[in-house]
Structure 1
């Protein structure tokens, strides 16, 4: 295969990326802007014919950079305070810093109408900081122009619900800020509602409660011991509990919470961190440290768990949820492996790509960012970012060399 080398530079950024090996998909072209706000359009945005896929990256100092995966251009989005961790909904990057959650708008997003999609590009910007103390957990939905985003500050016990529609206009607006007993908790948006964890006398989560998005209690409480981990799927929002997962949905205008218990007799450790290709119904999680007990798959449509074997020690896993039931995992050796989601069989694996980054990652293992065709794995210590065609024997489609270590990477434009 012929190699192609493209130098990517931007004058205001002291960072260079070099792309090599492979060819990107056809670039999206601009189309007519939508006029219906219900289709995700915003003033100043341009509607595109294809998703503006990109990777928004932040280094340890807080420099924010966006890589456009269509034309391989990069742009500096500015600088934030040094981040401790990030979360993303596919448009915004929520970075935990010493003073709270700092929010970056990547300026690219997809509006999901279930049977079709709309794609947009606008000017990126750094929106500001939601103040709070202690470690923070962010819970997002799959829409970046409507609904809410939840932030729970463990140190102060503050549950904050942000207005995501206001974020899409460049405004930071809190729908509510509840003060509860400090604990390692969650506030999970669900339509026009939110689910907030509550701690028992020992300071550990033992239940969740439902609220309207103005902070009014809904009178709903459900047991959820040791709540840990959340994700929004095509079906609803998931909250992991020690003995089950809770599926939160809005049915006929009312908040409903359904328990999905683990299979009877299971001894595997519960799921604590869920990952998937955005908007799909199935989520994956490691069962035990390094997946010692296997890989949990939660099908929110069937409301059922599946436990797959771990082929080797793992650091993270994600469900692609495609026609081939694909699951992707990153091993402790820094390899990406492609698994069959029905039986856990290994279909393909790469050579070790990010071994040094995995060894040095601590609590922040390199994430797997997956779309319908490709997976992306960033190695800050190797100063490389890999694009992997997981359906083609885990072929390395493109490699981007970075002149600076990007500690955090989020897929945006999805």
Structure 2
């Protein structure tokens, strides 16, 4: 009898015929870069590439998903930054390929939707004074505004403004008088403390001292101008051979003296005095710088240039336009003071004075800015 035999074949089955995909996708984020300052609405875009295929791409802000796509290797999102608070934030793109490999790419940025943060002291002004603050762009166009009260914090924003450079105008009203103080050179996100309105009358309590001029030439071309510390007016002396009186209000103030010889100016800052001042011609050795400002011919302007030193102010130079002259020349020492403040005052109609304050000696600080003052404030007392 013949024997039966059989052969059984076994086949080993593996998971894959080829190597396993372990390559993660590569991600690119556009529309924003590391450390950017952004505001209002921005466009965010992320894209990913993979050696095989991208299955899904996601966008997160501060680990919160804002959009995702499972049909494309790129994603686009128009995002309103006002939905979150100002400050530091992170955008993250996450891409996953068909094998489940996952990659992330993150960018840190800063949101600045607040134009200005304004604080007011508890005693900024009395009950009879009304105030309002205006924020404008560098061309004088109004961006936003807010009423002013004592002891409040004001956060000013505007979705319509896309720039960064700002001006602020503080408007104060007492009876039928207005004071408008415009400050330039601010930028988005700055903190600002309102200045105190200066409606109060000047003090009549003056103290008198006597000035002696030594070794000055006896000619008609030489004269001296003196401003005492925090006095805000200038006394001019043309006869330097006699002892001359000067009035002041501060206790033992310092003073700033300018010697004029023809069209040349020399200045010197002196220490405190009490009853007498002695000024020697030999103190004046360095010529002053001169800056000429041209104003619109159809407006009346006044200018004051102050030097700031150790917390005090000294009036260095001043002038005003007229019907026949729209230029004002200011003279100043570039090294005697810690900083400088230029006050440009425009006298409009209806008892309105617009004051523009500029710190420093930059060229733009001597340029009058456009201000739209067509507004009114009605104040009603509620019992």
Q: TM-score, normalised by structure 1?
A: 0.24
In our comparison, the structure showing a higher alpha carbon Rg is 2
Higher strand share: 2
- Name the structure, 1 or 2, with higher relative contact order (CA <8 Å, separation 6+): 1
Q: TM-score, normalised by structure 2?
A: 0.25
